Amino acid sequence: MALRGDHRECYIPLLRMCDRLAADGVRFKLTVSLSPPLMAMLSDDLLRQRYRDYLEQLTQLADKEILRHHGSPEFLELARMYRRIFHETAVAFDEHYGRDLVGAFRRLQDAGVLEVITTAATHGFLPLLRGQPGAVRAQIMTAVDTYAHHFGKPPEGLWLPECAYYAELEDILADAGIRYFFVDTHGVLNASERPRRGVMAPIACANGVAAFGRDPDSSRQVWSASEGYPGDPECREFYRDVGFDLDPAELRPFLPDGVDRAFTGIKYCRITGGTDQKEPYRPAAAQARADAHAADFMQRAMDAVSRHATTAADRPPQIVALYDAELFGHWWFEGPLWLDLLIRKLAFDQDQVELISPGDYLRRHPNIQCAQPSPSTWGDQGYSTYWLDPGNDWIYRHVHEAGQRMHGLATAHADVAAGSLLHRALQQAARSLLLAQASDWAFIMKTGTAVDYAYDRIRDHMARFHHLADAIDNGRIDERELAALEVMDPIFPQIDYRVYASQ
């Protein structure tokens, strides 16, 4: 099972769950992908303090909610529940993890219960960057270097952004020391040779890098809005939040900018049904459903293993269950509990299914079928249509031109003294380009949400890049302006701009 991907709602609950399981002697292994920007944010002292202040604000809001619902026992208990969650999260963040969540993931990996991997530097959509010299390599190598800085070694696997694969990408992955990556189901099923075990086993590219295909059934059980567990009527309703229900005057001290409404995490309703009429959330009933859902998932996994056992006589079939980490706790409040219950059931209630990582699978079964995965993504229609359509295709001309220019700068200035003004400018130009390449901007434009924000981010990163490139070309780098840009975009301190010189 692999997860990728709010401290309070997602990462801290997952870390605490793993700590409890390990303390109870439960045998399990999960794969978690931490993106380079996430590692940077989790390690930033200013953001750590802001997060701690945010928890304090939420605790104060919960205190007010307790007073507000003093005469309503049902809602009062929910307000107290949220107050307890905020307090326990603050204690875990400060005392148990020492405000170092990346370090907590590293310790769990060292303990053998997690396999932590990463993704491309800024989640660039790699198939649409492949025409730029060094662009894909920069996304991969910068990510691997960032990971190695935090974990003391390179990652074994890489989560391709949007599971987007194109032929020959594995060559860059192999150069970076990557042993495996994930693709959507059709990336394996439509491979150059028919996979003998379907998606119940990985396939190996010609250079030996393995591709693991997503299992569609395990995905549907959790992700589907109509069939998945998070849609159960007893689950907490995500969209009914006091951040949108309370009077703005009461909320103002607890809003990020003091004006615009925002989610607080305090939610009193359960899904109930498909109408706007929602019933109060019932934690005990939701917990009972999480237990039933965990039992159901386990039984389905056992059935799948039994069905496919005859097609994999030389090795047990494997089920690759891929999910966004933010599903667990953020979108699906009961998600961390469900995962905890599932892991315990798999450990103690059966002996057919074992949770292992892709790296462990390859060590146990090094000889796998050789076949070329099909170009694919896990996005809409399975290919690139979500990131390349009439609403966002204008992006790529600018990103490609900037990539060509960065390639020229890196090639022309391959031998620059580290720490010099020119070196700093080249480093910052590379950062600006990586940020402009993020697939998030095209995604936002396609969905039609916060389009102006996405446009402004691309424009700003492109403007900063070309400003620096012009200064480098003209030999007139303003140190004060450069220092300001370094403060504005301090990401990837280990970046090496020379990676853009690579073909």
- 235-252 confidence digits (pLDDT tens): 999 999 999 999 988 888
Q: Assign 501 to helix, strand or coil.
A: helix
Mean pLDDT for the chain overall = 94
Residue 3 scores a pLDDT above 70: no
**Span 411-467, pLDDT tens digits:** 999 999 999 999 999 999 999 999 999 999 999 999 998 999 999 999 999 999 999
Q: Does the structure show a pLDDT above 60 at 487? A: yes
CA-CA distance, 52 to 280, in Å (whole number)? 29
Contact 454, 391 (CB under 8 A): no
DSSP characters over 71-123: T-HHHHHHHHHHHHHHHHHHHIIIIISTT-HHHHHHHHHHTTSEEEEEE-TT-
Under the banding of pLDDT at 50, 70 and 90, the label for residue 274 is: confident
Among 97-101, 177-181, 267-271, 308-312, the least confident range: 308-312
pLDDT of residue 379: 83
Whether 312 shows a pLDDT value over 70: the answer reads no
Contacts 24+ apart (CB under 8 A), 15-19: 15/92, 15/97, 15/101, 15/104, 15/105, 15/108, 16/92, 17/336, 17/339, 17/340, 18/108, 18/113, 18/114, 19/96, 19/108
Q: How far apart are CA 263 and CA 255, in angstroms?
A: 9
Q: What is the pLDDT of residue 7?
A: 61
Under DSSP, the state recorded for 492 is -
Residue 102 has pLDDT above 80, yes or no: yes
CA separation for the pair 378, 186 (Å, rounded): 9
**What is the C-alpha to C-alpha distance for residues 392 and 271, in angstroms, rounded to an integer?**
34
Distance, in Å, from the CA atom of 431 to the CA atom of 290, rounded to the nearest integer, reads 43
Residue 260 is predicted with a pLDDT of 85
Paired tokens of 393: 């295709």
Q: Tell me which residue of 36, 311, 30 sits closest to 149, measured CA to CA.
A: 36
Q: What is the mean pLDDT of residues 398-404?
A: 96
Q: What pLDDT score does 349 carry?
A: 96
Per-residue pLDDT at 5 exceeds 60: no
- Output the CA torsion 245→250→254→257 (10° steps): 90
Mean pLDDT to the nearest integer, 368-388: 93
Phi, psi of 440 (to 5 degrees): -55, -40
pTM beyond 0.85: yes
pLDDT above 60: residue 343: yes
The reported pLDDT for the residue numbered 4 is: 43
User: Can you give the pLDDT at residue 503?
Assistant: 61
Contact criterion met (CB below 8 Å) for 325 and 6: no
What is the model's pLDDT at position 92? Answer: 97
Strand order in the sheet with 180-183: 203-204, 210-213, 180-183, 157-159, 114-119, 30-33, 2-4, 322-324
How confident is residue 78, by pLDDT bands cut at 50, 70 and 90?
very high
In this predicted model, what pLDDT tens digit does every residue of 179-220 receive, in sequence order? 999 999 999 999 999 999 999 999 999 999 999 999 999 988
pLDDT-based confidence at residue 402 (cuts at 50, 70, 90): very high
The predicted pLDDT at position 310 comes to 72
SS3 state at 29: coil
CA-CA distance, 164 to 319, in Å (whole number)? 20
Residue 22 has pLDDT above 70, yes or no: yes
pLDDT digits (tens, 9 = 90+) for 113-151: 999 999 999 999 999 999 888 999 999 999 999 999 999
Question: Residue holding tokens 């999960």?
Answer: 30
* Residues whose CB is less than 8 angstroms from the CB of residue 431 and which lie 6 or more positions away in sequence, other chains included: 489, 491, 492, 495
- Position of tokens 């009193």? 268
Domains and CATH numbers, the chain: 1-43+100-236+281-386 (3.20.110.10), 388-501 (1.20.1430.10)
More confident residue, 280 or 307: 280
CB atoms within 10 A of CB 312: 17
Q: What is the pLDDT of residue 313?
A: 65
Pairing of strands 114-119, 30-33: parallel
End-to-end CA distance of the chain: 35
C-alpha distances out from residue 362 to 2, 29, 112, 202, Å? 15, 14, 16, 9
| pLDDT digit string, tens, across residues 215-228 | 999 988 998 777 89
Say whether pLDDT at 6 is over 60: no
Choose the weakest-confidence range: 70-84, 118-132, 246-260: 246-260
